[in-house]
Structure 1
């Protein structure tokens, strides 16, 4: 079948490495993550279609689903700004960059975000994004532990996405066939941009949570033990080299890369178990949790 031929396992494997997994992620884990991402994308598409004519899907319907989380919306706005800046630089004939010029995009997606952003919180970057910061700090810690060859591989892995940085007719078609092999939905080009972004963020969050599951498994009986160096925890690191573990700041980063096991299938299953289980104190008033409560990217 056509749907079986389309796969993003190679891309997801590289992404997981870039987010902190082993340099050789477990193939079974990668396939499980791919199935989770695909299921979530299809759920997102079905939710977004409720705000369209149930056949033609534009990017704004997908963006509308993100409105409840200002932090995730800000990351998407920053993503759009970066894309716009890159496009602007590519169209310039000189290398001169106007640093004072606001590169904020004014495309259809950004105009829609500004339209629904009544309080201005979606474009307010004064507040620190702790999730994004923790990913950057983890990547920095990993990069310090790698030799030149592995570092170059790590940089390439961090640049991999579901749309190869830019949506083209070729990779857009691959993504569309993966999500909708029966061609039941007419996707606008902006919708593919958003879906590629949401898929990437889903892989990032699954990896984040899997690393937290592993970290908690190593903390033992001390409930606060995992707080030491929690931003830097990765499958590459063992407890002896976490920040604060031995009271030293002069760690030998050349010994950090220890080839620990990659994220396992069971660790991903534990992530999903926690996501699907109702949280203590959640005000559901006895009702059923919304279908979107377990969608990582939203």
Structure 2
């Protein structure tokens, strides 16, 4: 596979649509997001290799990088639990029931997270994940604006990721070729699972932030204009269409169809803010680490 032809533009375009962008994202914006995701994944790999022998990369090293953010670690742990539940359901649907059959053992990555979870906060799923909840609410609002055909397309976009539904030899090789075209690193299967997940979360956060940038641009000079729940519905549902607005039957279709695709400049503004944080960030005068802007971590 030629590295020059390895691209995830189609998948990223669908992912951005699934996260709240226009039905047809701007191709230039998609290419920019792809370059950002690729750069961040490669930097994550290099950071993780510091905890390995420098050539063989396992999933544990990648998971270890998330240890500073309990919310993202919890989200990943929930992701692993959902994968395990899916395996159990597939086993039940096979039609073969074994009375003495042992339950499916925990994933190796789940065991590792529990091992490094000294305080129990990584595996505590009782707290509401506000970021995930906001994305689900946004998706619900979008789905109300769609006809049946467009809704099916939206569902397909929501199910798109860097590894389809499961890691297979084919899509794993494409992702590996994209990240490491020179084949200098040996990736384990678990490493590819984690990288696929981190790439997906990177696209999600870039889209989230781009919609927030747009929202702020429409707030004008009113510093309190963003306090009406716009974060949960992005810029598509400002004004009469935001949560709690008057009206029993808001025209979500008109709001959705009127949203332009996320622009290149909006993505550039996101990256500018990430690389140049505003005054007041508590870094105590020290230099920010190179990984401070890695969205997935």
* Corresponding position of 1:290: 289
CA distance in 2, matches of 1:77, 1:175: 22
| 1:241-290 C-alpha deviation (Å, 9 max, x unpaired) | 22345x33542334332332100000000000000013422232322101
Q: Which runs of 5+ in 1 are unaligned?
A: 98-102
Greater shift after overlay, 211-220 or 226-235? 226-235
Query: Is the 1:135–1:231 Cα contact (8 Å) retained in structure 2?
Result: no
Backbone CA RMSD of aligned residues? 2.0
* Corresponding position of 1:252: 251
Q: Which runs of 5+ in 2 are unaligned?
A: 98-102
* Corresponding position of 2:107: 107
CA distance in 2, matches of 1:48, 1:157: 30
Query: Is the 1:237–1:258 Cα contact (8 Å) retained in structure 2?
Result: no
SS in 2 for 1:212: helix
* Corresponding position of 1:117: 117
| 1:70-116 C-alpha deviation (Å, 9 max, x unpaired) | 1100110111011111112222345799xxxxx89612111110100
Instruction: Give the TM-score taking structure 2 as reference length.
Output: 0.93
* Corresponding position of 1:100: none
CA distance in 1, matches of 2:79, 2:125: 13
| 1:43-91 C-alpha deviation (Å, 9 max, x unpaired) | 0000000000010000000000001111100110111011111112222
Greater shift after overlay, 233-242 or 167-176? 233-242
CA distance in 2, matches of 1:215, 1:278: 19
CA distance in 1, matches of 2:162, 2:25: 18
* Corresponding position of 2:265: 266
SS in 1 for 2:66: coil
Instruction: Give the TM-score taking structure 1 as reference length.
Output: 0.93
